[in-house]
Structure 1
Amino acid sequence: MNFTTLAVTVAQHVATVTLNRPDVRNAFNETVIAELTGAFRALGDTPEVRAIVLAGNGPAFCAGADLNWMKKMAGYSDDENRADALTLAQMLHTIWACPKPVIARVHGDTYAGGVGLVAACDIVVAAQPVQFCLSEARLGLMPATISPYVIRALGEQASRRYFITAERFDASEALRLGFVHALTAPEALDAKVAEIAAALVANSPNAVRESKRLVQDVAGASIDDDLLALTADRIAQIRASEEGREGVRSFLEKRAPSWRPV
């Protein structure tokens, strides 16, 4: 995979996708959107990759949309604007729906669409000095495309506030709200990300993939006969799967399962 706006590495079953436009605080444009979509699709289909870390190079994690790109969009027709917005929506969905778990490594300030990138990830680890801001209302805009992910991750009440005030909130507040899962000192950020990635890699790849999909399918669903049947079907299927059988055998035989790295 060759990229102009990203750096992608793979080591010990963990891929790291790094936003690599530090001169513009990793703001995204049509090229970044296309490359992120392509990278996550490819890594999602790569068997040796079991987890993905999304990171940023330079002082900021992601400042949202590139100003030059926004200037260009101001001259778009309605159809062009809709098509452009849809590519961003598809990129976010590709990250959210990626069959591999995604960890956001948030080392620096994260604004607007950058908050959407973080919200689309499964696990968020942030350094203490990080500031978040849904700044769209300051520019006469709204965070529409990122809203499905931000509202799920941040919560309806907090989203209502920060969408309309465009206030900054720090990583400690993001942790309190549940948007961030782990908060560290800057120098401890990589160690915490590595610890979580190692926990993911130690688990059954199939169980991790199916558990991620289970949360997405069950969250917000009515607890009715259809949901009871769905969950019963899912556990029955995974019990009968190759990795499900191997996991139970290895536990009873007191040995490491075959998927665990040596």
Structure 2
Amino acid sequence: MEYRALRVRRQPEALRIVIDRPEQDNSINGELIEDLHAALDLAEADPALRLVVLEGAGPVFCSGMDFADAARDGAAGDGRTLPTEGGRAFYGLLKRFTALPRIVVSVVDGRVTGGGVGLVAASDFVYASEQSSFALPEALWGLLPCCVTPFLIRRIGFQPAYAMTLSTLPVTAARAAELRLVDEVTDGAERALRRLASRITKIDASVIADGKRYFARMGISPEELEEVAVTEFARLMSSPAVHDRIAGFATERRMPWETVR
């Protein structure tokens, strides 16, 4: 298959996926979501694979929403229709991470913001380099990380997710490990992956599926919160002020707190 936003490579025990939109800071758009689903289809269809490893090309793992796409959607005047469709598509991808009968590992080496935090939070294991950072800046734009929040709370708990959302402050890799957003801070991710693979490859794929399904019943259920998340995301995205901020960034690289002159 030809991917538009990814580089995909099969190893004996793992499917390696690289988000390959470095000029757009590996932001999330419809093509990326479709490509990721196609890659996950490939992993799910191959009984020999146990791991899916997700990385980002360049210094940014993933910067979240593609504001250029969002600005075009806003200019199209589709109100809540396009945000609802986009929110549901992204939420569906995160749900698939958590349900996939393979171990999903995010290997982070750089900056992670917005929806990128969602990809990390929905992963089964996360390895991050010391220079990595994690932030939810949505509130600065008049938004909330609606689709990320259920998965983030599932992983790190209510108060840390709440604080990350309303402070908008970046979290270091070390602090992310304390919060359990990151499983291990290491500059030797390949070594950590080999260590993990040496055990995971001894586990039947059915046991991985059973384990993920069983533990999903132990805590917060993203399935039950989907409508709440998608509806609130669409409501916030329909705000004219949010449209203006996103358009200002997409066309002039103007941050929302900068005064228009």
Structure-2-length-normalised TM-score: 0.80
Q: Is the 8 A contact 1:105 1:193 kept in 2?
A: no
Determine the structure 2 residue equivalent to 1:224.
Answer: none
Where in structure 2 are the equivalents of 1:122-201 lying within 5 Å? 122-185=124-187, 188-201=188-201
Aligned to 2:62, the other structure's residue is in SS state coil
Determine the structure 2 residue equivalent to 1:3.
Answer: 3
CA shift, 1:97, in A, is 1.3
Aligned to 1:196, the other structure's residue is in SS state helix
Aligned to 2:201, the other structure's residue is in SS state helix
CA shift, 1:220, in A, is 5.5
Q: Is the 8 A contact 2:52 2:105 kept in 1?
A: yes
The root-mean-square deviation of aligned C-alpha atoms, in Å, is 1.5
CA shift, 1:116, in A, is 0.2
CA shift, 1:55, in A, is 0.9
Where in structure 2 are the equivalents of 1:27-176 lying within 5 Å? 27-75=27-75, 76-176=78-178
- Distance of 1:156 and 1:71 partners within structure 2: 31
Aligned to 2:42, the other structure's residue is in SS state helix
CA shift, 1:108, in A, is 1.2
CA shift, 1:182, in A, is 0.8
User: Which deviates further from its counterpart, 174-183 or 31-40?
Assistant: 31-40
**Percent of aligned positions that are identical:** 26
User: Which deviates further from its counterpart, 38-47 or 92-101?
Assistant: 38-47
Q: Which runs of 4 or more aligned residues in structure 1 lie more than 6 Å from their structure 2 counterparts after TM superposition?
A: none
Letter aligned with residue 141 of structure 2: L
Bigger-Rg structure (1/2): 1
Q: Is the 8 A contact 1:105 1:124 kept in 2?
A: yes
Aligned to 2:52, the other structure's residue is in SS state strand
- Distance of 1:83 and 1:205 partners within structure 2: 32
CA shift, 1:154, in A, is 2.1
Q: Is the 8 A contact 1:55 1:105 kept in 2?
A: yes
Q: Is the 8 A contact 2:17 2:55 kept in 1?
A: yes
Determine the structure 2 residue equivalent to 1:250.
Answer: none
- Distance of 1:198 and 1:23 partners within structure 2: 35
Q: Is the 8 A contact 1:41 1:94 kept in 2?
A: no
Q: Which segments of 5 or more consecutive residues in structure 2 lack a partner in the other structure?
A: 222-261
Q: How many residues were matched structurally?
A: 219
Structure-1-length-normalised TM-score: 0.79
Q: Which segments of 5 or more consecutive residues in structure 1 lack a partner in the other structure?
A: 222-262
